[in-house]
């Protein structure tokens, strides 16, 4: 309690800046860095894949842990991609976790009573002319849909927040607005963010989290129009990936990136139990032109909010509910006609031995049938080739419960999230040509 009163005292001393201007309607383009590709990283491709596989299972467990808590919990933690931008005026460079599984944008702030190690200085509101506190009268101050926010009017009209994540990362602090600056010289004003004074857990060597979920606190929800898109380059290439916000989030008629193919669109499905996630209606799977006999209920969202299928930028592997995965696994073994590896690589459930081959074999086309659209994957979008190990492994695994379309299957595909139309659209693309 003494620490809380101390925070209130310090907040009362902050200078109240004029109300920040409304969110800009312009579009923005940002580059994304893979968490294992940061400067100074010496991981080999095989090591990066193994680390990403381990994070996939950790993220799956953390996402499902949300269903058993009372306070709003999101997932951040060890995600796959980091985004760099500037905050405040003058701009302070920050690098944050890009998380489609949460809503709040936040960074660690001075005074930091509890902090997580980060590679750059803490944000200090005293140094920014564009910082502005959110008063208790602001509707965001009492919105508990995805974070716990509340008014402390007796302590100086302060809007405080508290949220935790599935990996037990936690942040507490003050809700405010700021200006965000991007690498192309553009900026957006009046962005609501969390200034974290008590933070603990893990941030993957970053300064905070950028929530890209469906809730009103997320960055895309604060844009005009409320949409974003990304294009992930292949994990075995050094080219940067890209994130597009607002008006620049457009598939361009399927021509941007020159990947060919037509645009597919499928609606998002609401889940009141987990409102931040992007649920999709996965109705079936085909392999090599054969529609698999998977029970219709395998990927469906249950009335209690369990199961279902989400698309997630922060999970590497695709993880399917076990009944559906078992059918796919059996058919893949049948059609591949390759010897099974005696001991699959760590984290992989299914690997084939290629010790007598000098090149990867042909594999059947995999198709995920969504409501209104088919997402097609050639060999390199669902199999991982390890020539040194003499293996080719499936980047799809099975566990009970929630199914997740991971980012390995999203490589070289331009994917657009439209929060206003409530639709996900996608088209094949050469993401290193953006």
Give the pLDDT score at 46: 67
Sign of torsion, CA 380 384 385 391? negative
| Range in 143-152, 170-179, 202-211 the model is least confident about | 143-152
| Parallel, antiparallel or unpaired: strands 105-110 and 123-124 | parallel
pLDDT band at 117 (very low <50, low <70, confident <90, very high): very high
pLDDT in tens, 259-272: 667 999 999 999 98
For residue 186, report the phi and psi dihedrals to the nearest 5 degrees: -90, 165
Question: Can you name the residues that pair with 267 across neighbouring β-strands?
Answer: 423
89 C-beta neighbours (distance < 10 Å), count: 17
First-to-last alpha carbon distance for the chain, in angstroms, is 51
Which one is predicted more confidently, 267 or 142? 267
Residue 66 has pLDDT above 80, yes or no: no
Is the model's pLDDT at 255 over the cut of 70?
A: no
326 phi, psi to nearest 5 deg: -60, -40
Beta-sheet strands, E only, within 111-186: 123-124, 132-133, 148-152, 158-165, 170-181
Q: Using the structure block, give the residue that is written with the tokens 């460079």.
A: 93
Neighbours of 68 (CB within 10 A): 7
Residues 341, 343, 349, CA angle at the centre, nearest 5°? 80
| Residue 371, pLDDT above cutoff 90 | yes
Q: Which residues are catalytic?
A: 99, 312
Per-residue pLDDT at 155 exceeds 60: no
Range of lowest pLDDT (12-21, 111-120, 379-388): 12-21
Per-residue pLDDT band at 23 (split at 50, 70, 90): very low
Q: What's this model's pTM, rounded to 2 decimal places?
A: 0.84
Count CB-CB contacts under 10 A for residue 344: 15
- pLDDT exceeds 50 at position 345: yes
267 contacts 281 by C-beta, under 8 angstroms: yes
């Amino acid at each position: 309690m003494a620490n809380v009163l101390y925070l209130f005292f310090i907040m009362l001393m902050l200078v109240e800046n004029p109300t920040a201007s409304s969110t800009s309607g312009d579009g923005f383009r940002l580059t994304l860095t893979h968490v294992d590709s940061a400067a100074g990283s010496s991981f080999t491709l095989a090591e990066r894949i193994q680390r990403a596989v381990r994070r996939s299972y950790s993220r799956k467990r953390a996402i499902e842990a949300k269903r058993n808590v009372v306070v709003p919990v999101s997932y951040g933690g060890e995600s796959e991609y980091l985004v760099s931008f500037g905050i405040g005026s003058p701009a302070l460079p920050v690098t944050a976790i890009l998380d489609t599984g949460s809503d709040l944008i936040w960074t660690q702030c001075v005074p930091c009573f509890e902090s997580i190690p980060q590679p750059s200085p803490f944000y200090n509101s005293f140094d920014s002319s564009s910082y502005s506190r959110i008063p208790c009268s602001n509707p965001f101050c009492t919105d508990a849909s995805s974070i716990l926010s509340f008014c402390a009017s007796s302590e100086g009209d302060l809007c405080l927040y508290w949220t935790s994540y599935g990996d037990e990362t936690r942040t507490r602090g003050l809700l405010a607005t700021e200006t965000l600056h991007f690498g192309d010289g553009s900026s957006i004003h009046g962005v609501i963010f969390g200034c974290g004074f008590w933070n603990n857990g893990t941030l993957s060597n970053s300064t905070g989290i950028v929530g890209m979920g469906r809730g009103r606190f997320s960055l895309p929800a604060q844009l005009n129009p409320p949409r974003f898109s990304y294009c992930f380059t292949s994990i075995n290439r050094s080219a940067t990936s890209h994130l597009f916000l607002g008006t620049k989030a457009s598939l361009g008629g399927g021509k941007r990136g020159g990947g060919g193919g037509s645009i597919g669109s499928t609606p998002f499905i609401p889940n009141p139990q987990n409102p931040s996630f992007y649920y999709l209606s996965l109705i079936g799977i085909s392999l090599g032109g054969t529609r698999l006999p998977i029970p219709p209920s395998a990927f469906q969202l249950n009335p209690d909010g369990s199961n279902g299928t989400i698309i997630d930028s922060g999970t590497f592997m695709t993880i399917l509910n076990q009944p559906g995965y078992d059918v796919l696994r059996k058919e893949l073994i049948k059609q591949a006609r390759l010897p099974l590896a005696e001991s699959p690589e760590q984290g992989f459930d299914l690997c084939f031995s290629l010790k007598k081959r000098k090149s990867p074999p042909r594999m059947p086309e995999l198709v995920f049938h969504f409501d209104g659209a088919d997402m097609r994957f050639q060999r390199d979008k669902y199999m991982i080739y390890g020539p040194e190990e003499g293996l080719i492994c499936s980047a799809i695994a099975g566990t009970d419960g929630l199914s997740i379309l991971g980012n390995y299957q999203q490589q070289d595909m331009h994917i657009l999230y439209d929060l206003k139309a409530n639709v996900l659209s996608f088209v094949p693309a050469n993401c290193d040509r953006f």
